[in-house]
Structure 1
Amino acid sequence: MKKSFLYIVVLLAGFSACKPLSEVNENPNDPTSAHPSQLLTYVSQHVFNGNRTSYDPSLSSRQLVYTQSNTASQSFTWQRGGFGDYHYIMQLQKMIEESQELQDGDNYIAVAKILRSYYFFELTRTFTDVPYSEAVRGESDGIFTPAYDSQKDVIEGVLSELQEAASLLDENNTIGGDIVFDGNAGKWKQFANSLALKVLINLSKREGDVSFNISEEFKKIYESGEYFNELDAAANLRYVDALNSRYFLYQNNGIATDTWMEKTMVDFFKEREDERLFSVAAMTTNAELEGKEANDWDAYEGVDGSMAFGDIRNEVNTGDVSSIDPRYFSDPVNEPYMILGYSEMMFILAEGAQRGWIDNNLTASFYNKGTVGSLQFYGISDEKIEAYMQHPKVIFQPENGLEMIMDQKKAALIIQGGYELFYNYLRTGYPEITIGEGTGNNGKIPYRWMYPQSEVLNNASAIDALDYNDDVNHTPWIWK
Structure 2
Amino acid sequence: MNNIFKKAILLLCVSFIYSSCETVDFGNTNDNPNGPTAAVTSQLLTEAQKVVSEIGTDISGTLFTQQITEGQYPAQSRYATLTYNYNDYFTGSVQNLNEIIKLNTDPATMTQAEAFGDNNNQIATAKILRAFVLQFMTDSWGALPWSEAFQGIDNPQPKFDTQEELYNTMFAEIEEALGLINSNTGPSGDIIFGGDMSRWRIFANSLKMTMALRISDVNPSLAKTKFEEVIASGNYIKSNAANIEYNYTSDDAGDSPWHDRFKTREDYILSDAMMESLRTNLDPRLFKYAEPSKTGTAANPLFPGNADAAYVGAPDGKVNGNVPDFSFPTATIIYDETYPTPIYTSAQIKLSMAEAALKGWNVGGSTAATLFSEGITDSMTYWGVDAADIATYLAAHTSSTINDIAYEKWIALYLNGQEAWSEWRRLDAPALTPSEFAGDPRIPVRLAYDSSVQDNNQANYSAIISIQGPDDLHTKLWWDKN
TM-score, length-scaled by structure 2 = 0.83
2:10 corresponds to: none
The question of 1:389 aligning with 2:400 is answered no
Give yes or no for contact 1:255–1:324 (8 Å, CA) kept in 2: no
SS in 1 for 2:309: helix
Amino acid at match of 1:199: M
Q: Identify unmatched segments of 5+ residues in structure 2.
A: 1-24
Q: Alpha carbons of 1:471 and 1:254: their partners in 2 closer, same or farther (altered >3 Å)?
A: farther
Alignment match, 1:259 = 268
Distance across 2 between alignment mates of 1:325 and 1:347: 24
Distance, in Å, in 1 between the alignment partners of 2:334 and 2:226 is 41
Shift of 1:68: 2.3
Letter in 2 for 1:459: N
Task: Name which of 327, 334, 347 aligns with 1:329.
Answer: 334
Separation in 2 of the partners of 1:28 and 1:457?
A: 41
Indicate the residue corresponding to 2:182 in structure 1.
170
Query: For residue 15 of structure 1, what is the aligned residue in structure 2?
Result: none
* AA partner of residue 143 (structure 2): D
- The CA RMSD over aligned residues, in Å, is 2.9
Partner of 1:133: 147
Is structure 2 residue 311 aligned with structure 1 residue 300?
yes
What is the aligned counterpart of 2:241 among 232, 235, 252? 232
Q: Which among 95, 108, 120 is matched to residue 134 of structure 2?
A: 120
C-alpha separation between the residues in 2 aligned to 1:332 and 1:284?
Answer: 21
How many residue pairs were aligned? 438
Q: SS at 2:342's partner residue? A: strand
1:199 Cα deviation (Å)? 0.6
1:404-419 equivalence runs, <5 A: 404-416=404-416, 418-419=417-418
Question: Where does the alignment leave 5 or more consecutive residues of structure 1 unmatched?
Answer: 1-19
Give matches, 1:49-64, under 5 Å.
49-50=53-54, 53-64=57-68
Which residue in 2 is equivalent to 1:16? Answer: none
Letter in 2 for 1:216: T
What is aligned with 1:356? 360
* Pairing 1:330-345 to 2, within 5 Å after superposition: 330-334=335-339, 336-345=340-349
2:244 counterpart SS class: strand
CA contact (8 A) 2:58 2:418 kept: no
How far is the alpha carbon of 1:204 from its aligned partner? 1.9
Aligned partners of 1:440 and 1:276: how far apart in 2? 33
Q: 1:31 to 1:80 in 2, by over 3 A?
A: farther
Could you say which residue in structure 1 is the equivalent of 2:22?
none
Aligned to 1:4: none
CA contact (8 A) 2:122 2:186 kept: no
**1:169-206 CA deviation, whole Å, 9 max, x = no partner?**
11332221111011100110111111011011110220
Partner residue, 1:463? 461
- Provide the rounded CA distance (Å) in 2 between the counterparts of 1:114 and 1:120: 10
Within 1, Cα distance between the matches of 2:207 and 2:236? 9
C-alpha change, 1:297 and 1:288, in structure 2 (3 Å) is closer
Name 1:270's counterpart in structure 2. Answer: 279
Structure 1 residue 231: Cα displacement:
0.9
SS state at 1:338 partner: strand
2:45 and 2:454 map into 1 onto residues whose CA distance is: 31
Q: CA deviation at 1:265?
A: 1.3
Q: Using a 3 Å threshold, how does the CA distance of structure 1 residues 28 and 222 change in structure 2: closer, same or farther?
A: farther
**Counterparts in 2 of 1:272 and 1:86: CA distance versus 1, 3 Å:** same
Name the residue aligned to 1:248: 257
Q: Percent identity?
A: 25
- Give 1:40 shift: 1.0
Asked if structure 1 preserves the Cα contact closer than 8 Å seen for 2:131 and 2:170, the reply is: yes
Counterpart amino acid of 2:452? Answer: S
User: In structure 1, what is the Cα distance between the partners aligned to 2:242 and 2:474?
Assistant: 36
1:5 equivalent in structure 2: none
For 1:196, which of 199, 208, 211 is the aligned residue?
208
Are residues 351 and 362 of structure 1, via their aligned partners in 2, closer, same or farther at CA, if it must alter by over 3 Å?
same
Equivalent residues of 2:62, 2:68 under 8 A apart: yes
Question: Could you tell me which amino acid in structure 1 is paired with residue 75 of structure 2?
Answer: T
Choose from 124, 144, 151 the match for 1:110.
Answer: 124
Code of the residue aligned with 2:276 in structure 1: it is D
Matched, 1:283 2:292: yes
Paired residue for 1:186? 198
